[in-house]
């Protein structure tokens, strides 16, 4: 598959990056992909280097061992585990490749929009929220039900008789996959009330993901959404309980936590990467948002692993 070959070559070339920004290196954006896990994610050393996809990304691990980091969450990989990585969340890992088997599924929401598909059915799924648990253990029966869907998607893509991006079955099967995952999850609040869905909130969150390293003012996001800053703040507050500014700051703090926990970058380097000209102000910002200094945060990580 050309996309897999392109992906492997990208890992070889840019594997030393602090975080590989996938969209910066893929020549042709694929709105949807599916593959066997053992073919997709591994280098020869079993490392899955830190990377950020613009897709919502799923791994179904049928068999395997190792460790995984999704955002600030670290956990051990186990058989029959479903791993969920919302779009733009950094992930990395180490796998024991000799026994690894499973599947990878990725898609972006524009794929559904192009199909005139009711996107709210996908966008309001709790597992795609950054605050949801990034993994869940499945029963053998649950895993086999997901395998049936993923094998169907693989067959449709490999058949060659129909362009997979023109295939009306694919978004339907992905939605079936998401519905089953939502039912299996014990960590996600059901989202059956579609009144909770608000397109402006979805667009605001997407803008944050694409711009939080460079843009930190509510005015910028309000202008992009063609709405008054006060109105944006009121809508965000109503739906999330947090101000628009707080949502922006929380995303920056989450990125800082990941970099502190998973890289060797200094506080000064992290400050620069996140758009802070003054490292001292970054330190003040981080303590204000997390109640911990950068050093204290690193110490808490050490205590957890000790």
Q: What is the pLDDT of residues 84-132, one digit of tens each?
A: 998 888 898 888 867 789 999 998 877 776 665 666 667 667 677 766 7
Q: Is residue 21 part of a domain?
A: yes
- Residue at which a domain ends, from 134, 156, 184: 184
pLDDT category at 192 given cuts 50, 70, 90 is very low
Contact 36, 4 (CB under 8 A): no
Q: Give the DSSP per-residue string, 111-153.
A: HHHHTT--THHHHT-GGGSTTS-SEEE--HHHHHHHHHHHHHH
Give CA torsion, residues 274, 275, 279, 285, to 10 deg: -70
143 and 214 in a single domain? The answer is no
Q: Is residue 273 part of a domain?
A: yes
Q: Is residue 193 part of a domain?
A: no
Lowest mean pLDDT among 11-25, 74-88, 171-185, 201-215: 11-25
Surface-to-core class of residue 218, CB atoms within 10 Å of its CB (0-12 exposed, 13-18 middle, 19+ buried): buried
9 and 88 in a single domain? The answer is yes
More confident residue, 283 or 98: 283
Q: Is-above-0.95 flag for pTM?
A: no
pLDDT category at 167 given cuts 50, 70, 90 is confident
pLDDT at 193: 42
pLDDT at 190: 43
- Residue at which a domain ends, from 127, 157, 184: 184
| Structure tokens belonging to residue 77 | 């990989």
Sheet containing 32-36: order of strands = 32-36, 101-107, 56-63, 81-85, 135-137
Residue in 122, 119, 120 with CA at minimum distance from that of residue 105: 122
Lowest mean pLDDT among 153-162, 221-230, 258-267: 153-162
Q: Tokens 């981080």 — which residue?
A: 286
The winner for highest mean pLDDT among 138-152, 171-185, 230-244, 258-272 is 138-152
- Residue at which a domain ends, from 152, 184, 216: 184
* Total number of residues shown for the chain: 306
245 and 273 in a single domain? The answer is yes
Residue in 81, 84, 74 with CA at minimum distance from that of residue 101: 81
What is the average pLDDT score of the chain? Answer: 83
Q: Is residue 86 part of a domain?
A: yes
Domain that holds residue 20: 2-184
Q: Is residue 36 part of a domain?
A: yes
| Structure tokens belonging to residue 43 | 């280098």
122 and 251 in a single domain? The answer is no
pLDDT at 28: 57
Please state whether 71 falls in left (phi above 0), alpha (psi between -120 and 50) or beta: left
How many domains in the chain? 2
How many whole angstroms separate alpha carbon 90 and alpha carbon 177? 23
| Rg of the chain, C-alpha, whole Å | 20
Kindly state the average pLDDT of the residues 218-234.
Answer: 94
Other beta carbons less than 10 A from residue 165's beta carbon: 13
pLDDT at 87: 85
CATH, residue 152: 2.60.120.10
How many whole angstroms separate alpha carbon 80 and alpha carbon 103? 11
């Amino acid at each position: 598959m050309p996309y897999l070959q392109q992906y492997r070559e990208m890992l070889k070339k840019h594997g030393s990056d602090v975080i590989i920004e996938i969209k910066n290196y893929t020549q042709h954006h694929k709105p949807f992909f599916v593959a066997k896990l053992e073919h997709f994610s591994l280098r020869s050393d079993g490392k899955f280097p830190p990377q950020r996809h613009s897709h919502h990304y799923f791994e179904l691990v049928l068999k395997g061992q190792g460790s995984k980091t999704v955002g600030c969450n670290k956990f051990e990989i186990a058989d029959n585990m479903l791993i969920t990585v919302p779009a733009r969340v950094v992930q990395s890992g180490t796998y024991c490749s000799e026994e690894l088997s499973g599947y990878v599924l990725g898609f972006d929401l524009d794929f559904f929009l192009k199909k005139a598909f009711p996107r709210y059915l996908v966008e309001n799924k709790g597992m795609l929220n950054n605050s949801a648990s990034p993994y869940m253990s499945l029963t053998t029966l649950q895993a086999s039900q997901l395998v049936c869907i993923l094998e169907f998607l693989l067959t449709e893509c490999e058949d060659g008789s129909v362009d997979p991006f023109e295939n009306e079955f694919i978004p339907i099967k992905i939605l079936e996959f998401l519905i089953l995952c939502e039912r299996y999850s014990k960590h996600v609040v059901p989202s059956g009330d579609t009144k909770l869905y608000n397109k402006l909130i979805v667009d605001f969150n997407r803008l944050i993901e694409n711009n939080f390293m460079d843009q930190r003012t509510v005015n910028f996001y309000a202008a992009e959404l063609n709405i008054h800053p006060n109105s944006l703040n009121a809508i965000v507050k109503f739906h999330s309980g947090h101000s628009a500014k707080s949502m922006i700051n929380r995303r920056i703090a989450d990125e800082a936590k990941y970099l502190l926990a998973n890289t060797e970058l200094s506080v000064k380097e992290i400050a620069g990467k996140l758009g802070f000209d003054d490292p001292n102000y970054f330190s003040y910002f981080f303590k204000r948002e997390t109640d911990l200094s950068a050093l204290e945060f690193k110490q808490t990580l050490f205590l957890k692993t000790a």
